[in-house]
């Protein structure tokens, strides 16, 4: 019986290393030994936690909030349900001062509890147990669509080195970018505007291997083919120092027969080798998503902005991802807007609370009851524009009701109309 190598299909590792080198343009090529094939970003987040954390010794998981909600369960499954901590995003992507203060407090607590060594994880040459995990989506984030500045990326790497933290980033939207201009001069962009945090760690202050993480570095980048090829592939890649990438390949479930997604990895390797996937991203996905994004923004400007709805980080030259984050005019609540949008207009929008870190909404910058997330990636442009107009109708009605002291003016739902017709 033939399985496959622990680190995944060598051809995919090689082809991906080449594409990443072209896209991020680091000072040295991305070498194959920095890459390990994964079952996608979610699966590999679970592997990273298995390999590099201990639910007791690892003090906290610090999550930039609003956060990708499906990651919460993965952290909880790894034993961190009481240790999840939210860190507010600021205009530059993360409130570093808050994070630093809280990590210090967390360290004081660990000291007072003599929390000095891993309790449940074996020490092996292929792994290292970190004291902290920091989780972020630094480019075109899900859900806020914010991008973390280079300055913050550097500050974060320095902080991680100081406090023995592993920064895990889902870099899953980086390839989905386009100019923010509503009349762009180009429809696609074939290189990244910023280095990933894993690239920053590779070079900052002499590089990852020179700083006290035993050669494992302090950053792990989760890439995924879900957004650029197809989510059903369940295939992605991890980039980190060669030691970290090797460590992930030695997760128990991969040592038992090799990396996940071996078969689909072969298909993806083929499309990269002939350049088809790259062309699909640059010639099809970027222009299509960019055009949907522009249509949605135009409609937001026309119908939602006059109602007092705000959008963050609107001054960026390059935008991307799948989502737009909207802050509602006071006193409207995201949950009620989402419910009424569904009932009255058959619209799916996500209320901000879905993206709150479970158990930690203490800081006012980490609770999102006044926000909603809308997605422009799925529907075609005309539907997106109509959707925003219908959302504006819901919000408009709610604002009138508020002004009238809470009298409902909502339109009857389809169900209620049917019921009326029965009589
Ligand atoms: C931030 C983020 N990470 C991970 C994923 C899922 O990636 P994968 O399908 O590779 O597990 C998503 C998909 O929505 C996402 O938005």
Taking the alpha carbons of 18, 19, 23, 24 in that order, is the dihedral positive or negative?
A: negative
SS3 174: coil
pLDDT of residue 229: 98
Instruction: Please give the backbone phi and psi of residue 149, each rounded to the nearest 5 degrees, phi first.
Output: -70, 160
pLDDT of residue 3: 85
The CA distance from 216 to 226, in Å, is 27
Q: What is the pLDDT of residues 381-420, one digit of tens each?
A: 999 999 999 999 999 999 999 998 866 655 555 554 554 4
* 261 CB near ligand 1 (under 6 Å): no
Mutate to test the pocket of ligand 1, among 64, 75, 146, 172 (most ligand atoms within 8 A of CB): 172
Listed residue (5, 19, 13) closest to 274, CA to CA: 19
- Tokens read off for 95: 């409130």
The CA distance from 55 to 58, in Å, is 6
* 236 CB near ligand 1 (under 6 Å): yes
SS3 324: strand
* Ligand 1 centroid distance, CA of 299 (Å): 27
pLDDT of residue 419: 46
pLDDT of residue 359: 95
Mutate to test the pocket of ligand 1, among 38, 42, 221, 260 (most ligand atoms within 8 A of CB): 42
SS3 325: strand
- Tokens read off for 171: 């870099």
Mutate to test the pocket of ligand 1, among 45, 67, 68, 234 (most ligand atoms within 8 A of CB): 68
* 260 CB near ligand 1 (under 6 Å): no
Domains defined along the chain, listed by start: 10-274 (3.40.640.10), 278-422 (3.90.1150.10)
In this structure, what DSSP letter does residue 15 have?
A: H
* 141 CB near ligand 1 (under 6 Å): no
Whether residue 208 contacts residue 218, with contact meaning beta carbons closer than 8 Å, is answered with yes
* Ligand 1 centroid distance, CA of 239 (Å): 16
Mutate to test the pocket of ligand 1, among 38, 66, 70, 260 (most ligand atoms within 8 A of CB): 70
* Ligand 1 centroid distance, CA of 140 (Å): 12
Mutate to test the pocket of ligand 1, among 39, 40, 41, 175 (most ligand atoms within 8 A of CB): 41
Ligand 1 atom 7 nearest Cα: 41
In this structure, what DSSP letter does residue 76 have?
A: I
| pLDDT profile of the chain (423 residues), mean per 10 | 88 98 98 98 98 98 98 98 97 97 98 97 94 98 97 98 98 97 94 98 94 92 98 97 97 91 96 98 98 97 97 88 98 98 97 97 92 97 98 98 75 50 39
Listed residue (205, 262, 282, 198) closest to 26, CA to CA: 198
Distances from the Cα of 397 to the Cα of 203, 307, 340, 408, 410, angstroms: 53, 11, 10, 8, 6
* Ligand 1 centroid distance, CA of 344 (Å): 30
* Ligand 1 centroid distance, CA of 389 (Å): 29
* 40 CB near ligand 1 (under 6 Å): yes
pLDDT of residue 412: 52
* Per-residue b or e along 269-303, where b marks 16 or more CB atoms closer than 10 Å to that residue's CB: bebbeeeebbeebbeebbeebbbbbbbbbebbeeb
* 221 CB near ligand 1 (under 6 Å): no
Q: How many CB atoms lie within 10 A of CB 119?
A: 10
* 137 CB near ligand 1 (under 6 Å): yes
The CA distance from 178 to 109, in Å, is 45
Verify cis geometry, omega within 30 degrees of 0, for the bond prior to 121: no
The CA distance from 166 to 198, in Å, is 10
């Amino acid at each position: 019986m033939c399985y496959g190598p622990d680190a995944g299909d060598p051809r995919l590792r090689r082809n991906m290393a080449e594409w990443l080198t072209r896209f991020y343009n680091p000072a040295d090529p991305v070498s194959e030994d920095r890459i390990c094939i994964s079952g996608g970003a979610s699966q590999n987040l679970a592997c990273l936690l298995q390999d590099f954390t201990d639910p007791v010794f690892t003090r906290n998981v610090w999550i930039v909030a609003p956060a990708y909600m499906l990651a919460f369960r993965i952290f909880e499954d790894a034993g961190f349900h009481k240790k999840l901590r939210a860190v507010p995003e600021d205009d530059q992507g993360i409130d570093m001062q808050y994070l630093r203060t809280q990590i210090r407090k967390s360290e004081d607590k660990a000291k007072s509890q003599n929390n000095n060594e891993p309790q449940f994880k074996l020490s092996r040459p292929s792994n290292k147990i970190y004291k902290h995990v920091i989780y972020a989506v630094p480019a075109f984030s899900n859900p806020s669509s914010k991008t973390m500045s280079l300055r913050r990326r550097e500050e974060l790497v320095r902080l991680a080195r100081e406090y023995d933290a592993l920064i895990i980033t889902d870099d899953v939207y980086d390839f989905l970018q386009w100019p923010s201009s509503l009349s762009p001069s180009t429809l696609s962009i074939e290189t990244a505007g910023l280095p990933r945090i894993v690239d920053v760690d590779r070079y900052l202050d002499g590089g990852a291997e020179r700083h006290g993480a035993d050669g494992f570095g302090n950053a792990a980048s989760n890439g995924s083919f879900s957004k650029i090829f197809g989510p059903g592939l369940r295939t992605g890649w991890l980039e980190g120092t060669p030691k970290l990438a090797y460590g992930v390949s030695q997760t128990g479930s991969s040592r038992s027969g090799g990396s996940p997604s071996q078969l689909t990895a072969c298909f993806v390797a083929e499309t990269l080798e002939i350049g088809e996937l790259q062309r699909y991203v640059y010639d099809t996905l970027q222009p299509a998503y960019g055009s949907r994004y522009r249509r949605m923004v135009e409609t937001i400007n026309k119908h939602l902005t006059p109602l007092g709805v705000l959008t963050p980080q609107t001054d960026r030259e390059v935008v991307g991802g799948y989502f737009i984050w909207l802050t509602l005019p006071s006193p409207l609540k995201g949950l009620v807007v989402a419910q009424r949008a569904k009932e009255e207009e058959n619209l799916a929008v996500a209320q901000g609370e879905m993206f709150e870190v479970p158990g930690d909404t203490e800081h006012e910058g980490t609770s999102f009851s006044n926000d909603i997330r809308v997605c422009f990636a799925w529907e075609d442009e005309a539907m997106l524009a109509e959707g925003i107009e219908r959302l504006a109708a819901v919000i408009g009605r709610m604002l009138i009701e508020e002004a009238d002291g809470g009298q409902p003016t909502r339109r009857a739902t389809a169900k209620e109309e049917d019921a009326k017709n029965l009589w």
